[in-house]
Every structure is written in C-alpha cells, then in structure tokens.
Amino acid sequence: MTQTTTSPSPNTPDRALLMDRGVPGRRGIRLPNLDVPAQPLPSADLLRDDLPLPELSQPEVVRYFTRLSQLNYSIDTQFYPLGSCTMKYNPKINDQVALLPGMANLHPMAPAQAAQGALKLMHRLQQYLADAAGMATASLATMAGAQGELAGVLMIHAYHQRRGETDRNLMLIPDSAHGTNPASAAMGGFTVAAIPSDARGNMDIVALREAAGPHLAGLMLTLPSTLGLFENNILEICDIVHRAGGLVYGDGANMNALLGQAKFGALGFDVVHINLHKTFSTPHGGGGPGAGPVCAGPTLTPFLPAPLVERASAGGKEAYHFTTPAQTIGKVGAFHGNFGVLVRAYAYIRALGGEGLRQVSEDAVLNANYLQARLRNAYDLAYDRLCMHEVVLSAGRQKKQGVKGLDIAKRLLDYGFHAPTMYFPLIVDEALMIEPTETEGKETLDAFIDAMLAIATEAQETPDLVRNAPHATPVSRLDEARAARQPDLRWKAKA
C-alpha cells in the first residue's frame, strides 16, 4: 500500500482535515460477499451520491482521531496554571466512588428509607464542610460557586426583611473580589458599591468606614482575594460591618488556601460558600457539574436553601431525613444538589483526614510562593508580599519592551504549558494570575519557571518571537470572540 500522507511528529502542526485526506480507491474495510437476499434500495429521490466522503485506510482514520484527541490540553497531560479557575489533579479513585452503582444509579426521588446511606453521606459532608469553614451547618443544594453566592446574598436579604429593616439594600464589594460577586449581589436585588484596595492589596478601611451607613446590608469578601492575598484587616473589617448592622459574606471558593489554617466563622463571617469543584476533588474549569455549598453561622442558619439533611434516632437506630430550615430562602434547584460531586468531596475528605487537608493548604501556598520567589526578578509583582494559593504577576516591564501579557501567555503554549489567567484581576496592569495548586511537584514548577524566565529573556532580546506566538500549535491567534459567537464547524468541499 502506498502511503500518501506522512504522520506528523507530535510537535508538528498538521492542519489537513480528515475530509481532505482521502485518496480515490483507498479502503478502510472490505465487506464480505453478500450471503443474504439482496434488498431493494429506497426510491431514487431518497438516495444521493454527491457526498464527497474521503476514502481512507483504517490506520489513517485511527491516527487522525488519536492525534486530534492529543491536541486537547488537559490536566491529565500537563500542568494547568490557571489562576482563580484552578484546574488541579483530582484523584481518579473519587470518580470511581461516585460511579459505584449504589451512588450513580440512585434515583433522586427514591424514598428516604431507601436512600439512608446517601443521606448519611450528605449529613456528614454538611458537617465536615461547616467545620472546615467554622460555621454551624451547610446546605449542599447549590450547584456552582456563583449560585452559592446568590443563595448567600438572598439569605442576607431575607434576614434584613425579617427584622423589618427593608431599606438595607447596599452591598459593599472590594475591587479585589471575584467577578461573580457583584453580579450575584445585583441579581439578589442589591445596589453594589466597590471599595478600593490600598497600596498593600488590602481593603481600604477608611473607604469602608465611610460607606458603612444605615443602608448597609452586607459586605462580600473573597478570601483569599483575587490578588492571591490574605486580607490583613479582616477582624476589623467584620467588626465595622457588624457595627453598622450589616452581615459579612465570604467567597471561600479557594478554600485550598485556608484549610486547617483559618476558619471563616472565627474571623467574623456570617455566611460563606465553598467550591467543591476546585478544592474538594471535582475538576474545575472543564464546564462540568459543580457544587457550591453554602455554610452559615447561627444568625443565618434558619435561612439556608432547602433541603438540609437531619439525623434522628428511631427505635435506638439512627435515621436520616430531609428538612427545610425555618425561614429558608427556598429551593435553588431540582432535588438535592449535584450528588456525584458531593460523593467525590466526601471521599476526598475521608481519605485525607484533618492532617491531609491542612497539608493541602500548606502545599498550595508553598507552591505559589516558590513561583513568586523564582519569578520576581523577571516580572513585576502586583504586591510585594507573601501570597496565598496564587501569585499575581504583572507584565508591565515587558509591556515597555513591546510585549504584552497576552503575548507571554501565547508563547507559553509553545513551551507546552496552558496559559495562566490573564488581565484579571482588573486592578493589576497586564495581570498574569498563576495558580500552581497543591498537586504539582517541584520538577513541574521548575519547568514552568524555566519557560517563564526564557520568555522574559525573549521579550528583551527577540520580542517579535513572543509577539507572534504561538508557533507550534495547530492554529495561532484566533479571533476568540468571533469563534465563540460564530463558530465555523462545517466542512466545505474545495471548489
């Protein structure tokens, strides 16, 4: 058989589409002679012979699709330093646990007596998460971080309404908050006002004091902030808000920075959400199902979204059932949340235990600070202080050399790395937000650092190389907005 196409080397982009690779007469399969009576074809108007299907051998088809699958960047193939939307390695065994027939095939309408094991798991998870956050209890019903935020602000709203303080409609949000926070507050019906950050990346306390007036409903604070920093004045901040009659909401999506080190409840927060699809063993960033449980302190527990799972004793035996908190904001989705994600989180927590969870935060913070220490001479630091789970660099220096943050992110693709989050947080010029996560080893971090250092040198010496990157990917710079809005996915025959 003559080979008309050569297999591309793994690093050589091969843009020929399958439809264009055919060679007339080539076959992928040879059908046996007909050994049953021939059947008549449908009528001619239902038949067509104008489909220019490519004629290919089996290996060509297999190689094409295998190669295509290899072009997918994934956490199973490489390091994924995406700040804020953390893609960390999650143990595969937790997927297997979630896929056990008793878990995966359980019908959401199964009566509680037939689902005691599942309810027990949910009850325990409620408590584990509440303990980790230093709160009274948790609702597992919310299915995303942003949904947890919305539930939290609706709880704050319901609390003020119930006390007759109906004109408390102001939600304060620092400018270093996650972008979903102001959106959730606005959806919850609040007027949103931003509090600026000071020169150290903390919230400007003077501005907070001025804004905390009689209309204050609450404050939403992302901890660690999107600058990757711990808020140094958190105790004072919670105190100011409480004295003004407001409540404090914590965005705890990035609990992997705090586990076993600091508890939201002890810091003064009234309600907090946690992203299980980030910290607790479900991949984040892949667009798959998530869970954003809401944990509440005593003040807001009665307002939690339904259902909660409660334990009772019946005839000397423990029994579990769903309950609805007294002043609940109601249901936030069908049934009981994303059960498979809850199972993964439960398995993860049980496998690691208290010590293991503490080590998660130690490693996450150590890894980010290692990157910061080794990259600080080549890039500007947004804030020159110890960071938490992620480090925010600025490509301000490179911008003066004519190379932007976007160019650096694109050049990283040539070195085999996924790009970090760029241009976020908005308050950092040319931001490159890098989260190594706790699951990467030193060799991987060193390889990434070497690539970043090499790119910094290239920005100085051969800026065009960086400006025109990537060079080794199948496609180069796309019009990403147009690609999303007007995807061109149909193959058209060449004229």
Ligand X SMILES: Cc1ncc(COP(=O)(O)O)c(C=O)c1O
Return residues touching ligand X (CB under 6 A).
Answer: 84-85, 144-146, 178, 180, 222, 251, 253-254, 275, 290, 292
Specify whether the CB–CB gap between 188 and 237 falls below 8 A: no
User: What are the backbone dihedrals phi and psi of residue 29, each rounded to the nearest 5 degrees, phi first?
Assistant: -155, 145
Smallest separation, CB 251 to ligand X (Å): 5
If one counts every other C-beta atom within 10 angstroms of the C-beta of residue 425, the result is 24
Residue of minimal Cβ distance to ligand X:
145
Q: Based on CB atoms, which residue is closest to ligand X, 188 or 290?
A: 290
CA distance 294 to 305: 8
Q: Would you tell me how many other CB atoms lie within 10 Å of the CB of residue 386? A: 14
CA-CA distance, 304 to 337, in Å (whole number)?
14
Contact 305, 141 (CB under 8 A): yes
The nearer residue to ligand X, 286 or 330, going by C-beta atoms, is 286
Q: Report strand pairing: 294-296 vs 271-273.
A: antiparallel
The least distance separating ligand X from the CB of residue 286, rounded to whole angstroms, comes to 11
| CB of 277 vs ligand X, minimal distance in Å | 6
Q: In whole angstroms, how close is the CB of 142 to ligand X at the nearest point?
A: 9
> Measured from the CB atom, is 178 or 418 closer to ligand X?
178
**Min separation Cβ 438 and ligand X, Å:** 16
The smaller minimum CB distance to ligand X, of residues 145 and 470, is found at 145
Cβ within 8 Å of residue 9, ≥6 positions away: none
By beta-carbon proximity to ligand X, the closer residue of 151 and 378 is 151
- C-alpha 364/C-alpha 361 separation (Å) is 5
Query: H or E stretch including 422?
Result: strand 421-422
Smallest separation (angstroms) from ligand X to the CB of 200 = 20
In this structure, how many other beta carbons lie within 10 angstroms of the beta carbon of residue 50?
Answer: 5
C-alpha torsion sign, points 489, 490, 493, 495: negative
Least distance in angstroms from the C-beta of 182 to ligand X: 11
Tokens, residue 390 = 């992620």
Looking at beta carbons only, is 84 or 202 nearer to ligand X?
84
Q: Quick one: 290 or 470, whose CB is closer to ligand X?
A: 290
